[in-house]
Amino acid sequence: MRTSVGIIGGGPAGLLLARLLHRTGIDCVVLESRTRAYVEERQRAGMLEQGTVDALRACGAGDRLNAEGLVHRGIELRFDGERHHIDFPGLTGGRTVTIYAQTEIVKDLVSLQLDGGPTLLFEAQALAVDGVEGGEPVVRFLHEGRERTLSCAYVVGCDGSHGIASAALPAGASRAYAHEYPYSWLGILADVPPSCEELIYARGEGGFALHSMRSPSVSRLYLQVPNGTDPADWPDERVWDELAARFAVDGDWRLERGPVTAKSVTPMRSLVREPMRHGRLFLAGDAAHIVPPTGAKGLNLAVSDVRVLAQGFAELHRSGSSRLLDRYSEVALTRVWQATRFSYDMTKMLHAQPDSDAFEARMQLARLRRITASRTAAAELAAHYTGLPLAL
Ligand code: RFL
Ligand code: PHB
């Protein structure tokens, strides 16, 4: 097989890139190692920045998003038994965020691609990328029981945090900056209407808790748990009791409980690869960087990466100029480092330190009090949460 842009990974980054390239007349092939059902059901992100929503609409993937997405005008910060609303439009000149599950974005993009879009192969596992420093890199992959090759002008690794594309960067060509956090998130999906209208980020007695949602009838909730936690040690009743304790406030508020339909534990880490390109290989999305989910930035960064890349490829296709493509890593990393810093600060501000450092706990409260007392501090949080502009 031969194509202009070989894309490894059919998650949000790979599928959106394929869609954007297709619309500018550039041919590409997407190789996805899992089945269609698996990628469409994988529970992950839910909070979309305005720019992400705009990008999905602009490429024709906005129909269901417009009908089913829940527009949110802020979040609630909960600590010390108090509730504080952060008003996004008021603090950012009108910006909002939207709840629309990653599973639904993937379904929308897959169905557009299978309906006359570029080739998308499921159960096609990339094994290696060869020749990224030469003129025609080749992706070797396994499909239907045999090894095949895809020759490309360029390869984009959109294969997530456990993919193989980053391994094709020769030692010394790119550096990984990483940070591990001493806690994980236990996430549940529950068939119960959300107990809130906005997301609640709570710094509770026993640690962090987040109340999110997927629809007016489905809630998504997370609890900070120690690294290495086995979800089997958290029967549903224990999860609900702990959530209720961490969300407890002075005054009237109740956490509604319902049947739990999914439960999993995710470790938290930050990682940035710099640069995000070597020769004819580009990395985008989680293949290039990981953020802890506290800032809700992972999917949004994947989308902004591929928007930059798609514009670079479009310029090359149109005019033969690689000016923008050559700036990809620099442009993308400017945004990536800001989101990495924001996610890190949100994480450190809201999670209980396992060694219960009393001084650190007071620092967390001082940060939260500043955000709720100062319009400037709140505006800074709102600007990052709703998404910094993408400077192309
Ligand atoms: P993905 O989604 O991991 O997709 C990578 C795809 O590559 C495939 N693959 C391969 N294909 C072929 N050959 C190989 N050798 C391959 N190896 C892997 C995989 O099967 C997969 O289909 O990466 P992508 O596209 O970069 O998208 C990134 C996002 O998925 C991720 O950043 C977000 O889910 C992070 N995230 C959140 N981001 C937000 O912006 N807002 C949120 O509210 C939010 N909440 C979250 C999150 C992530 C979470 N977890 C589970 C990590 C909440 C959680 C709990
Ligand atoms: C989610 O809805 O899954 C979600 C929302 C906000 C976050 C993380 C996850 O910060």
SS3 for 321-340, per residue? CCHHHHCHHHHHHHHHHHHH
- Residue 128 pLDDT greater than 80, yes or no: yes
% pLDDT > 70, the chain: 100
Ligand 2 centroid, distance to 48 Cα (angstroms) = 9
**What is the Cβ-side half-sphere exposure of residue 382, based on CA atoms within 13 angstroms?**
25
Nearest CA to ligand 1 atom 47: 45
Name the pLDDT band for 30 (thresholds 50, 70, 90).
Answer: very high
Burial class (CB in 10 A: 0-12, 13-18, 19+), 353: middle
pLDDT at 224: 98
**Mutation probe of ligand 1 site: the residue of 44, 214, 309 with most atoms within 8 A of C-beta:** 44
Please indicate whether residue 125, judged by its CB atom, sits closer than 6 Å to ligand 1: yes
Extract the tokens encoding 367: 């940060």
Task: Name the average pLDDT for the chain.
Answer: 96
Q: What pLDDT is recorded for position 154?
A: 98
CB-count burial class (<10 Å; 0-12, 13-18, 19+) for 237 = exposed
- pTM of this structure: 0.96
What DSSP character marks residue 380?
A: H
Which segments of the chain are extended strands (E)? 2-8, 28-31, 47-49, 70-72, 74-79, 82-87, 97-99, 119-121, 124-130, 138-143, 146-157, 175-190, 199-204, 207-215, 218-225, 260-274, 277-278, 281-283, 289-290
How many of the other CB atoms lie within 10 Å of CB of 66? 12
> CA dihedral in degrees (222, 227, 228, 234; nearest 10)?
-30
Q: Which of 139, 140, 286, 306 to mutate to test the pocket of ligand 1 (most atoms within 8 A of CB)?
A: 286
Task: Give the ligand 2 atom nearest the CA of 201.
Answer: 10
Q: Is the peptide bond before 275 cis (omega within 30 degrees of 0)?
A: yes
| pLDDT above 90 coverage of the chain, percent | 94
Quote the CA–CA distance of 280 and 277 in Å, as a whole number.
7
Q: Residue 45 — pLDDT band, cuts 50, 70, 90?
A: confident
List of domains in the chain = 2-71+99-179+268-352 (3.50.50.60)
Span 182-231, pLDDT tens digits: 999 999 999 999 999 999 999 998 999 999 999 999 999 999 999 999 99
Task: Kindly list the catalytic residues.
Answer: 72, 201, 293, 297, 385
